[in-house]
Amino acid sequence: MSSVLGAGVKPTRGFLLDLKKRVKFIEEGYKLLEMKRDELARELRSNLDLLGVKRSELEKEFEEAFQKLLIVHGSVGTQEIKSLRTAAGKLLGIDVMPISVMGILVPFIKITDKPSFKNKYGSIIRSAAHDFENLLEKLLKVTELEMRIERIAEDLEKTNRKVNALEKIVIPDYNKVIKYIADRIDEDMLEEIIRTKLIRTLIIKRRS
């Protein structure tokens, strides 16, 4: 009969009551998932807006920093730039930790070791190094936001699929089964009434 219940459908009153309870529970879940979907969509939209702003800011700053670096590169030459790569002393170290947002695990980037440019660079390169030092943190923040958006979008997709499945398949299927069982019970009741009436008519005929 149904893709949801398979062959286990019993057209009984007890089963019907059980099904109705189940549908009520599913509908409550559906409403909750719908709320979650709306909330995730709102979160995604606001994060996307934020990302749009931050990313364009970052791109602009990167463009300026790279332009400055290109000029510095031209001024000091490739050999000097190559040798200056290591002058900061440290490499960037990060820890990526999961934090939960509405039950979704999103990454949180913690900087554990940061190359410091203060007191490290001589003339010409200082300003470009300083710009890139500031950009590193911003870049990580944007990366974190992008990952957050990706995870929210993935979860939104899953939630959406669940909501759609409940809305378009599970609940209508249950309702169909309920209707089928209710119809069967009604038919059975009608049969019973007619049978009772027939028997009553037969009994009356025999007595008369």
Residues forming contacts to other proteins in the complex (CB under 8 A) are: 67-68, 70-75, 77-80, 82-84, 86-87, 89-91, 116, 118-128, 130
Structure tokens at 78: 């490739």
Is the Cβ of residue 17 or residue 92 nearer to other proteins in the bound state?
92
Nearer Cβ to other proteins, position 77 or 98?
A: 77
CB-nearer residue toward other proteins: 124 or 171: 124
Q: How many C-beta atoms lie closer than 10 Å to residue 207's C-beta?
A: 6
Least gap, CB of 77 to other proteins (angstroms): 5
Enter the tokens of residue 84. 């200056």
Count of beta carbons in the 10 Å neighbourhood of residue 86: 10
Task: Compute the least distance from the CB of residue 70 to other proteins, in Å.
Answer: 5
Q: Minimum distance from CB of 134 to other proteins (Å)?
A: 12
Dihedral pair phi/psi, residue 161, rounded to 5°:
-65, -40
DSSP 135-177: HHHHHHHHHHHHHHHHHHHHHHHHHHHHHHIIIIIIHHHHHHH
Q: How far is the CB of 60 from other proteins (least distance, A)?
A: 16
Q: Which residue, 22 or 73, is less far from other proteins as judged by CB?
A: 73
